A and B are shown apart, each in its own frame.
Chain A
């Protein structure tokens, strides 16, 4: 720790003084951390951490307090997201376009230089979105708004009138390719975006027949035809072999309330881990039960439900892109939204130590 280090008290921190403890309430993340200390004068003390005063200077201002104690408190509060180390100023462009996002990212990092690094990662990352329906179309635009500039958009379909009630298209887009419409919409937000469009269905030879770039930072699979299991197994197999983080989008035709899972290859439960866990659960649940067979079903759909899946996938996507993997919410879990109680039910799906995909291949693939 250098004496020149500057810290800034996060503005989103609410300070509650109790008798012998101080509670720091992180309003953005709605969590608290408490510290045993006398509450008198704490707020004034913390106001010295304004992003300009160096630690050294603060020690000089408070000659009665031992410097090592000030440093100890400062480090504790930094590690607990109460103070942020202000080691690099934000540029005017970042502030004018992304100040909300800057503040959001500050909750994932301890230093402003890391926050700037995160924004740079976002603007340099390349994200593939496969399936541009109710979930994928919104995710594409959300990520563009967050500053993602390189996209691979995959969908063979044209916009149909029945899409508009839940997908991010307009009446004038009817009959146009979904990829073309989204490219235009992304460029209205981010004029310099680079978009590769693939109008080819996701099937077994997709990755072989298409010139699919290998320098992809994240693949989000929102294709649910013929089924999400079919498309996800293909996407996951490719992503695992190239160690690309990927997200299964959720909210699709036969499973509207499912929140998709985020997979960091060889670190979190992979598609196969999920698959075997679910087979196991279904085997118990469906013991002695048969399902009536029916084909070509088109279920009802409702935009608030696909919208919730899209927004949560986008939040995890940003966390993956900036490397805030500790804060991912959809790894090692199968999450389902209950539209009646407005709550999320999660089943833990840990990595399977005997997984044919991710248990043994780890070193081989890396």
Chain B
């Protein structure tokens, strides 16, 4: 550009842009050329761009790997239907756009600047290109390659997933957030251990593990972490060592004590824990959850009651975080109300006077609860899906409190939704 540019660096108004266009001047090229030679920042007013500095048209964008783009004809000859399909989350976004848009998308390769793409395409309207880019960015269908931080090798695939899942912030920021989380786990059995493994692999930085038991032979079939050499050692210690083989930077503390009705939980659970997970199903998950849940309610600490316990080997568990969800009392009351007229009797044959022959030192009950690592891992994965959704701070999270259960011999999933109870004094003073 030989002549001095016909505008004042600083603010470019839409009126000026219109006037320049009437003169057939490619204003974007003009502005960019001028600003880059003079190293000037500038702002453009109007709906096109809210960012300052170098305008988005001089940047490189890439259509995200996980987005499938389908193009279909419409009734109007110059418009097409463009379908963006997020392969990871299976979300779908549809827009109706001019035919050139599809070609434009195909050229977003992360190498060519937008302005070069536009000049290659010829008759593409710059304004609509800018608003298209803004739209695609807000939906996280494209990523800005110019601004992109160095790739995190360890978590790059997960960061790419977070990019699709959580629209609040870029995936790498979500990944950093996980690092700062502290998770407390009651019970290091099959489900607790597997949840710890999944969260540890995902990048959660700190754990408190609570269990008083030692690894027994019979645990190996359900656990994901114990091996033969661990038999006889504290589960907490074995799990902690296992987590540190996955990531030596995870900070872990342990408590090898049994949770009892009089346990003082304030001396166990740190106030800054991000989430407490209960997998203690002895004597019964309901009782331990009530004790822990009431304490956490006072402290306003989120709580996850895990599934996968006896007779519910493939259930999800649920997040308890009042006032967003019902409190632990309400959640449990939903069950007792629903099952009011349904009282099964379980006949335990081991207390009959003539005991069956195969009684052993472990808590084997003939024909009792089954189990196998794939089932506990299933529960743990279902729980972790919800837990990661929650602790990664997805603002679009749905707080419906539903317990899902997969039926092992039919493949159906049942859903049970927990509700706030009308007369709950705990919940009502918070609602």
Contact = CB atoms under 8 A, between A and B. Distances in A.
A304 B158 contact: no
Contacts of A147: 221
Interface stretch (A205-213, A241-249, A305-313): A305-313
A75 interface: no
Given A104-B370, A162-B153, A297-B65, A188 B70 contact: no
B203 A165 contact: yes
Nearest to A26: B409
Nearest to A255: B87
Contacts of A364: none
Interface stretch (B119-127, B292-300, B375-383): B375-383
A33 B402 CA distance: 26
Nearest first, the 6 A-B pairs at minimum CB distance are: A14-B344, A104-B370, A300-B161, A300-B160, A100-B371, A307-B381
A95 B72 contact: no
B381 A304 contact: yes
Interface string B229-240: 100000000000
Contacts of A307: 198, 377-378, 380-381, 384
Contacts of A290: 70-72
Contact of A292 (B69, B201, B385): B69
A200 interface: no
A197 B357 CA distance: 42
A113 interface: no
A310 B224 CA distance: 13
Given A8-B349, A299-B160, A171 B247 contact: yes
Interface string B303-345: 0000000111100100000000000000000000000001111
B88 A303 contact: no
A51 B361 CA distance: 20
Interface residues of B, number: 104
A302 B372 contact: no
Contacts of A11: 346-350, 365-368
Most A-side CB within 10 Å, residue of B63, B72, B229, B373:
B373
Interface in B90-117: 90, 102, 105-106
Given A95-B362, A302-B88, 17 more contacts: A9-B367, A14-B345, A52-B356, A100-B222, A103-B367, A104-B370, A104-B375, A141-B373, A145-B372, A164-B201, A291-B69, A315-B378, A318-B372, A318-B374, A336-B90, A342-B316, A343-B415
A25 interface: yes
A288 to B, nearest CB: 5
Interface in A16-57: 16-17, 23, 25, 27-31, 43, 46-47, 50-52
B334 to A, nearest CB: 18
Contacts of B88: 256-257, 299-302
B277 interface: no
B317 to A, nearest CB: 11
B378 to A, nearest CB: 4
Nearest to B353: A50
A98 B217 CA distance: 8
B285 interface: no
B211 interface: no
Contact of B66 (A14, A15, A23, A299): A299
A329 interface: yes
Interface of A: 8-17, 23, 25, 27-31, 43, 46-47, 50-52, 84, 89-90, 92, 95-107, 138, 141-142, 145-147, 161-162, 164-166, 170-172, 188-189, 191, 254-257, 286, 288-294, 297-305, 307-308, 310-312, 314-315, 318, 327, 329-330, 333, 335-336, 338-340, 342-344, 346
A344 B411 contact: yes
Contacts of A310: 374, 377
A197 to B, nearest CB: 20
Contacts of A289: 70-72, 83
Interface of B: 63, 65-66, 68-73, 83, 87-90, 102, 105-106, 153-165, 171, 198, 201-203, 217-218, 220-224, 227-229, 245-248, 310-313, 316, 342-350, 352, 354, 356-358, 360-362, 364-375, 377-378, 380-382, 384-386, 388, 402, 404-411, 413-415
Contacts of A161: 153-154
Contacts of B223: 145
Contacts of A25: 344
A162 B154 contact: yes
A342 B245 contact: no
A14 B284 CA distance: 16
Contacts of B69: 291-292
Given A100-B370, A166-B158, A300-B88, A142 B377 contact: yes
A290 to B, nearest CB: 5
A300 B370 contact: no
A97 B407 contact: no
Nearest to A285: B70
Given A106-B367, A303-B202, A47 B347 contact: yes
A300 B382 contact: no
Contacts of A17: 345
A214 to B, nearest CB: 27
Contacts of A162: 153-157
A62 B426 CA distance: 53
Nearest to A48: B352
A47 B411 contact: no
A295 to B, nearest CB: 10
Contacts of A27: 310-311, 344, 346, 369
Nearest to B171: A300
12 contacts: A8-B356, A11-B365, A14-B346, A29-B408, A30-B408, A95-B360, A100-B222, A162-B157, A165-B158, A300-B159, A304-B384, A314-B377
B198 A303 contact: yes
B352 A50 contact: yes
A305 B342 contact: no
Contacts of B224: 141
Contacts of A101: 221, 370-372
Contact of B70 (A171, A291, A294): A291
Contacts of B66: 297, 299-300
Contacts of A98: 218, 221
Contacts of B371: 100-101, 103-104
B141 to A, nearest CB: 12
A147 B365 CA distance: 20
Contacts of B163: 300
B202 A165 contact: yes
A366 to B, nearest CB: 28
Contacts of B388: 302, 304
Contact of B227 (A189, A298, A340, A343): A189
A255 B66 CA distance: 10
Contacts of A29: 407-410
Nearest to B163: A300
B358 A339 contact: no
A171 B33 CA distance: 48
A77 B89 CA distance: 45
B340 to A, nearest CB: 12
